[in-house]
Chains A and B, each alone.
Chain A
Amino acid sequence: MPSTEEGKAGAWFARFSHEISAAWAISRKDMITYYIKPNIIVMGILFPFFMFLAFAIGKNAPPGTLIPGLIAITLLFSASSIEPVSIPIERRVKTFDRLLSAPISLHSLVFGESISGFLYSLGIACFPLIVGIILFATPIEHAPVLVIAMALTAFCFATLGTLFAAYPTENVGEVMSILNTVRLPLIFISGVFIPLSAMPQIGQEIALFSPLTYGNDMIVYAYTGTSLFSPLLDILALVIFILIFQFAANRLYKKFNE
């Protein structure tokens, strides 16, 4: 017989690995089922691209310098587009009940749902990344920082998408419009199009509450080596946002379960 402490640790480890594999199963299911849904392709790929084009045309900066911002908003839109589509659909066809009644923690459900948005957006964000490298030869100063920045930003917005999908509706459009009232303003107040230094005081203060500010700042740092905050502060801020979104989502899914 193992000691009770060892037994406890073993049981805890078994529990943890079960939760992780269930979360992974949930995200794999999302990948097979939802990555190619038209809604997701429009909101996740086309929308950020055209949004960006519209702004880039009005500027006379060299196109290569716009790549970091394009990556940031691509991550925002693609990562936060999967769950607001998949979860209302699953509510409608009642497969969501399967997830809610499985012997897993609600945290694993939220986490698993977010992983699919996370991986999707990393895949999509490779396009502006590669376009930058090939077409504009945009130099990347700190490649490892870019990897961390993209991963954290993607995960943060994927969890944001899962959080908004907690809104108890079977209608995809309803979640999307609520989400858009939040994420559209984000791109204007986070230093993506307008540098924070060029914004009025109040705008700069609001920007501190936007996760995109830190994601964008860290991506800019990875490309240029200069940034507003230090990359460490950006990492800390993004991790805090992820935790807030994860726990808030957990609370809301519980609450809306009647």
Chain B
Amino acid sequence: MNAIEVSHLSKRFGALTALDDISFSVSEGETFGFLGPNGAGKTTTIRILTGISYPTSGTATIFGHDIGRDTIAARQSMGIVSETSNVYDDLTAWQNMIFSAELYHVGRYEREKKATELLTTFDLYERRNDKVHGFSKGMKRRLTIAMGLVNSPRLLFLDEPTSGLDVQSNLIIRDVITGLIHEGVTVFLTTHNIEEANLMCDRVAIVNRGIIAAIDAPERLKNTIQSVQSVVVSFDHSSAQQLDEIHHLSMVNDAIKEGDKFRLYTEDPATVIESVMAYAHTRNLRVTSISTLGPSLEDVFIRLTGLQRTGGAIHAID
């Protein structure tokens, strides 16, 4: 049985079509990523799959339970981590955990055990008796995720789990999610962070304007645009006009500056390497490193969504 089965789902808000006839399925144990820019329809999809919002048309089932007709059964096995860290500021971390457990009918003994365990994992146990009011953004995020796990869900919805967080919180969160994946928990994750999708997901759906542009494993998505390759080069001196000059070398389709390196997009890396070496020679520059790269998930993403590359690399499209 599939963990999630979505069939011809559409959602309109007045004149705006937020989701346009999307279909996909997620099998049990899979980590499935919904990757797309802001406004793509990621949160709308999660709200429908968790039964908070209703589709305009189409159906969705969770472990075989229709989310519209068999809502309570469908929800019992899911954990939900929403985009905003929706914790109760006037309750303590502990009270938040217990409240969440009570909503999911977790028994008294089990919920205290689970709350202790999760607060420890998320490095919040020492602060368990403090009101959440004074917590940092990262702490609230961690608490939100801990609350989503208190019923030991088989399916976890994560809406942008690590967006805009500090490094420590990010590391803990990624670690925990990786652990859950090992335990066989199905994870549905939305993100606009391409690297996150690439690292964590078995399969990724690229969504834009309510449409799924492609669904596949990250590596297979990259293979679909093998023609986009790149040469990464760095010189011993760099100056402002270099980017413009190498942009105009033969066979270079696009050039961007990535830190102290330049990345040149091409269909013909061999020719580009030759012309870069020649360019270095005429300008009296030494090439300190040069390598060729296949397409990144970001390239696939940009190709499929038609987004523009703006200056540096677009790792997170904020």
Residues of A in contact with B (beta carbons under 8 Å apart): 18, 21-22, 25-26, 29, 32-33, 93-95, 97-105, 257-258
Query: Are A103 and B72 in contact, with the CB atoms below 8 A?
Result: yes
Seed contacts A93-B89, A101-B51, A101-B80; 5 additional CB < 8 Å A-B pairs: A26-B103, A93-B86, A101-B52, A103-B73, A104-B103
Query: Are B103 and A98 in contact, with the CB atoms below 8 A?
Result: yes
Measured CB to CB, the nearest residue on chain A to B100 is A98
Tell me, rounded to whole Å, the shortest Cβ–Cβ distance linking B112 to chain A. 14
What CA separation (Å) do A73 and B86 show in the bound complex?
A: 35
Query: Are B91 and A101 in contact, with the CB atoms below 8 A?
Result: no
Digitize B68-93: 1 where CB-to-A-CB distance is under 8 Å, 0 elsewhere.
00011101100010101011111100
Measured CB to CB, the nearest residue on chain B to A99 is B103
Does B279 have its Cβ within 8 Å of any Cβ on chain A? no
Does B121 have its Cβ within 8 Å of any Cβ on chain A? no
What CA separation (Å) do A100 and B86 show in the bound complex?
A: 13
A-B contact pairs, 14 of them (CB 8 A): A21-B102, A22-B102, A22-B103, A29-B88, A94-B84, A95-B88, A97-B82, A98-B86, A99-B103, A101-B75, A103-B72, A103-B103, A257-B52, A258-B53
Residues of B within 8 A of A101 (CB): 50-52, 75, 80
Tell me, rounded to whole Å, the shortest Cβ–Cβ distance linking A155 to chain B. 22
Residues of B within 8 A of A100 (CB): 52
Query: Are A103 and B105 in contact, with the CB atoms below 8 A?
Result: yes
Query: Are B102 and A25 in contact, with the CB atoms below 8 A?
Result: yes
Residues of B within 8 A of A95 (CB): 86-88
Residues of A within 8 A of B73 (CB): 103
What CA separation (Å) do A22 and B72 show in the bound complex?
A: 13
Tell me, rounded to whole Å, the shortest Cβ–Cβ distance linking A232 to chain B. 37
Residues of B in contact with A (beta carbons under 8 Å apart): 13, 50-54, 71-73, 75-76, 80, 82, 84, 86-91, 95, 99-100, 102-105
Contact of A18 among B86, B87, B105 (CB under 8 A): B105
Residues of A within 8 A of B72 (CB): 103-105
Measured CB to CB, the nearest residue on chain A to B148 is A98
| List of 3 A-B pairs having minimum Cβ-Cβ separation, nearest first | A25-B102, A103-B75, A94-B86
Measured CB to CB, the nearest residue on chain A to B103 is A102
What CA separation (Å) do A32 and B90 show in the bound complex?
A: 8
Tell me, rounded to whole Å, the shortest Cβ–Cβ distance linking A170 to chain B. 12
Residues of A within 8 A of B104 (CB): 102-103
Query: Are B13 and A258 in contact, with the CB atoms below 8 A?
Result: yes
Residues of A within 8 A of B71 (CB): 103
What CA separation (Å) do A241 and B91 show in the bound complex?
A: 33
Residues of A within 8 A of B102 (CB): 21-22, 25
Measured CB to CB, the nearest residue on chain B to A96 is B86
Measured CB to CB, the nearest residue on chain B to A254 is B54
Assuming A21-B105, A95-B87, A103-B75, is B54 touching A257 (CB within 8 A)? yes
What CA separation (Å) do A26 and B86 show in the bound complex?
A: 15
Residues of A within 8 A of B52 (CB): 97, 100-101, 257
Tell me, rounded to whole Å, the shortest Cβ–Cβ distance linking B210 to chain A. 15
Query: Are B91 and A32 in contact, with the CB atoms below 8 A?
Result: yes
What CA separation (Å) do A25 and B50 show in the bound complex?
A: 21
Tell me, rounded to whole Å, the shortest Cβ–Cβ distance linking A163 to chain B. 20
What CA separation (Å) do A157 and B197 show in the bound complex?
A: 50
Query: Are B88 and A103 in contact, with the CB atoms below 8 A?
Result: no
Tell me, rounded to whole Å, the shortest Cβ–Cβ distance linking A32 to chain B. 6
What CA separation (Å) do A98 and B54 show in the bound complex?
A: 16
What CA separation (Å) do A94 and B147 show in the bound complex?
A: 14
What CA separation (Å) do A188 and B81 show in the bound complex?
A: 48
Query: Are A103 and B76 in contact, with the CB atoms below 8 A?
Result: yes
Tell me, rounded to whole Å, the shortest Cβ–Cβ distance linking B84 to chain A. 4
The residue among B76, B99, B104 with the most chain A CB atoms within 10 A of its own CB is: B99
Measured CB to CB, the nearest residue on chain B to A25 is B102
Contact of B82 among A94, A105, A258 (CB under 8 A): A94
Measured CB to CB, the nearest residue on chain B to A109 is B103
